[in-house]
Amino acid sequence: MPRKKAAKKSRKAAVKRKLSGKKYARKKFAKKNPRKRTAAAKATNKKSSGAVNQSQVVEPILLQPPRGMKDILPGEQEYWNRIRQVLDKSYMRYGFQRIDTPLVEFTNLFIRSIGEGTDVVDKELYSFTTKGKDRVSLRPELTAGIARAYIQHGMNVLPKPIKLFSVGPVYRYDRPQEGRYREHWQANFDIFGEDDPVLDAQIMQLAYQVLTSLGIKNIQFQVNTIGCADCRDGYVDMLTSYFESKKNKLCRTCKDRLKNNPLRILDCKEDKCVQVATNAPQTVNHLCEGCRNHFKNLLEYLDELEIPYMINPQLVRGLDYYTRTVFEIWTLEDGKKKSLGGGGRYDNLIANIGGEPTPAIGFGLGLERVALEMKKVKAKSYEPPKPKVFIAQLGNLAKKKSLNLFATMEKSSILVAESFGRGSLKSQLRMANKLGVEVTLIIGQKEALDETVIVKNMTTGTQETVPIEKVINVIKKILKIKPVFNGKKN
């Protein structure tokens, strides 16, 4: 027992010696003042508890985009580049000018233009309040923003018709489906200032030309007219009476639409609503004379252009701003009908959001759906131009010379490839062979010091060493590129 007590005292003494003067004083003070010690312990526990809680609220990073949004990876870009290429050529050939509008607009712009009671406004808007208390939304489509820009920037004074092209992402909080995401890309073509049906036909001709140029051949235009304000009111009253008599057969959503947007019932995809809509009054039978002539002339133009179309009495589109002509573009591959885009006339939109009355027509294409369809039909994708020359180098000094030579060749419009990250000359020459270049330039340590380059003709296998300042002329001679004088080839 005495030994145990002695050992215990020895350990206590060792602990005291290890403690610094301040620490020992604090410990001694805490023993004499237990209440204060308890408060200090609580504070310490609170701090440590806070640290634990703070660490617990840190959310892990989810290495994926939000639901309904996706990356467009390099392997898919060959189709997207082809789409961009065709769109850029088409809008300029048809006399359109490009316009880009913000992703975010004031929410009331979409409420006023698209309309309350539409699915887009009621269910699909990404809306939020900014730090400045502004109510804004991510754009669900492009036309409303373009119409706003048309008014704001006084485009009404420009020569008519005014043709505008835009492309970019749009956002709709909807159930994601194949080819349609919550963030998806659209290309828009809009014409302002003319109400002649020949422009309706031209805009459909443009859509047809874009899709066929992309290799999508088996398409059909679904066409309808929903009249104007003069004839639509009477038609809507008649339509409402019809659906009221069939109300118990409608889906829950269409029962709500019956109160504020009965036209949208015609576009419902529910089987029971489709059956009811089949026998509903058709707009083409209740048009005023102006709308009837407009639609008749449009169909005659489409026949002249030999554009495949079908009149679809149930087609109304989902936005309130449409008047008269509406259409969708369907692909008919594999016997399945899928919409690649659509549009129509919106003669009242500019006036509805504060501008002067301006007739207009436009259409949009869903680019994800177009790219998907191109893959299905094995359409031609974009083929980037192939380099003619490859630069191979060995050593740090050679890399410096190669960088300058690369820049010089770019200025001379010679497409050149390289592999600066590869150390082995053998692996670089293997890459040159794989790319199928016509000329390989080799710069080693000796060539870098001598200010020379080895020029190897990959077709004949011959090579020569030339001064670095003469390399461009030698390459042009091998590639048979004519020299340029005064901006003209000779």
Give the model's pLDDT for residue 283. Answer: 83
- C-alpha to C-alpha distance for 411 and 25, rounded to whole angstroms: 77
Q: What is the pLDDT of residue 253?
A: 81
- Amino acid 184: pLDDT: 93
- Residue 487 has a pLDDT of 45
pLDDT tens, residue by residue, 16-62: 555 455 454 555 555 555 555 555 555 555 555 555 455 567 888 88
Q: Which residues contact 108 (CB under 8 A, 6 or more apart)?
A: 135
Most confidently modeled range among 161-165, 176-180, 435-439: 161-165
Is the CB of residue 297 less than 8 Å from the CB of residue 184? no
- Domains annotated for the chain, with CATH where assigned, are 74-228+288-376 (3.30.930.10), 389-489 (3.40.50.800)
Is the predicted pLDDT of residue 179 greater than 80, yes or no? no
Q: What is the pLDDT of residue 22?
A: 47
* CA torsion through residues 209, 210, 215, 219, sign: negative
Tens-place pLDDT, residues 391-427? 888 888 888 888 888 888 888 888 888 887 766 778 8
Higher pLDDT, 13 or 109: 109
Give residue-wise pLDDT tens across range 138-153: 999 999 999 999 999 9
User: In this structure, what is the dihedral angle of CA atoms 363, 365, 366, 372, given to the nearest 10 degrees?
Assistant: 160
Q: Quickly state the pLDDT bin for 14 (edges 50, 70, 90).
A: low
Beta-carbon contacts of 433 under 8 Å, excluding residues fewer than 6 positions away, are 458
pLDDT digits (tens, 9 = 90+) for 162-174: 999 999 999 999 8
Decide: 356 and 363 in contact? Cβ < 8 Å.
no
Q: List % helix, strand, coil for the chain (3-state, nearest 5).
A: 50, 20, 30
pLDDT 10s digits, 230-242 = 887 788 888 888 8
Q: Mean of the pLDDT values across residues 101-119?
A: 87
Model confidence pLDDT, tens digit, residues 236-278: 888 888 888 888 888 888 888 887 778 878 878 788 888 888 8
Give residues with Cβ within 8 angstroms of 384, minimum separation 6. 81
Percent over 90 (pLDDT), the chain? 39
